[in-house]
Structure 1
């Protein structure tokens, strides 16, 4: 009977060792959970960026306001009859 109890105790210790420190043990599980969290955060940021791009594309396709704004800001275009004033700050 003592031999059986000793054998079972050794088996329990061996299984616990594999659970805590072995391959695919609790340490690996914790590391994988951290990786999943980082990936989900990254995906969330990318979804927001994609949504902003889709909104901008939709606005450019449907409205002329966005096109006009881009032409003014990026290309420096002015409507007919408008006067463009550039204000230069004073240098100290």
Structure 2
């Protein structure tokens, strides 16, 4: 009787482990599906990062452009912002 019980028990345990591998939590199909979802999310993240980098570049260009326009307006047109005091220093002759 004991000779038959041990192999049957081992086969049953093997069947349970095999069933877990294919149908349980962390099964092969589930892991495969999660890998596909991860790859899709990684691609979406890369696309979003690229778009963010492009937008940041545009913002920097606009900021630099506005700073340059303001500097030219101050030098050539004497632009003064509200609440600023304009001071002009005349250079003496040598």
TM-score range, shorter chain: 0.5 to 0.7
CA distance in 2, matches of 1:23, 1:57: 47
RMSD (Å), alpha carbons: 1.6
Identify unmatched segments of 5+ residues in structure 1. Answer: 68-92
Matching residue of 1:33: 35
CA distance in 2, matches of 1:43, 1:16: 36
CA distance in 2, matches of 1:23, 1:56: 47
Aligned length: 65
Q: How does 1:1-92 map to 2 (within 5 A)?
A: 1-63=3-65
Please, what TM-score do these two structures have when normalized by structure 2?
0.63
Q: Displaced runs of 4+ in structure 1, greater than 4 A? A: none
CA distance in 1, matches of 2:28, 2:57: 43
- Displacement, 1:63? 2.4
